[in-house]
Amino acid sequence: MGGRPRIAGKRRDADESLPGAPGQRCYSFKTAETPRELADIHRLLYRTFVLEIPRYDDPGTDYLVDKYHERNLYFVAVRNGRVCGMTAVHDQAPFSVAAALDDPNLLYKLGPRLLEARILAVEPRERFGLVFAGLACSIYEYAKSSGYRYIVITGLAERQGMYERMGFRPLGPPALRGNEYFVPMAVDLSCLPEKVKRDLGRWNRREGTLAEER
């Protein structure tokens, strides 16, 4: 596959009115393209994974650069001109999920068109449904339009049910990393759940809102 995944700077705009919140929150979902957006990503990663959830040692700066930065394609949620949520994808081995598998060769059985989604970070006050849903739909849309067959993740075990509703299935038992258990999972884009298909249809029509589970 080689090289960082590329995609034109597609943009989705969404409005969300929150009960009890003053005014309206407006977001754009896109790929990170500018130096400012990348700097916002590094600072958000630092605040999330060094200060809030200490998974990495403090580099002594106010930013954290992901180890796969050179191969990553970043999807971001932008509000008022700054990044408030992000996630990343890449399609080059080694994949992080391999470390959570008893048999890493299982990944090769999924075929060559494999996309890994990893590192999700969202500002605390923006952690409600629309930001996560917008980032997730951005990844699904990119993967399907780029010809990938599977998306793989290493998901928190406590959120396994949520990932399964999104179409993901476990590739193996939970694996302990630090103080938390993570589950290696994959979703086959050729057979998504009907609700996910409906949500992606709404997203592609740029309605900007996604259906709640009833």
Question: Tens digit of pLDDT for each residue in 136-151?
Answer: 999 999 999 999 999 9
3-state secondary structure (DSSP) of residue 65: coil
Q: Report the pLDDT averaged over residues 179-200.
A: 94
Whether the bond into 5 is cis, omega within 30 of 0: no
Query: Would you state the pLDDT for residue 110?
Result: 94
Tell me which residue of 169, 159, 163 sits closest to 110, measured CA to CA: 169
Q: Report the pLDDT averaged over residues 177-192.
A: 93
Query: Would you state the pLDDT for residue 130?
Result: 87
Q: How far apart are CA 113 and CA 21, in angstroms?
A: 43
pTM of the shown model: 0.85
Q: How far apart are CA 2 and CA 99, in angstroms?
A: 21
Query: Would you state the pLDDT for residue 13?
Result: 55
Cβ contact 139:86 at 8 Å? no
**What domains are defined for the chain?**
11-204 (3.40.630.30)
Q: How far apart are CA 200 and CA 187, in angstroms?
A: 15
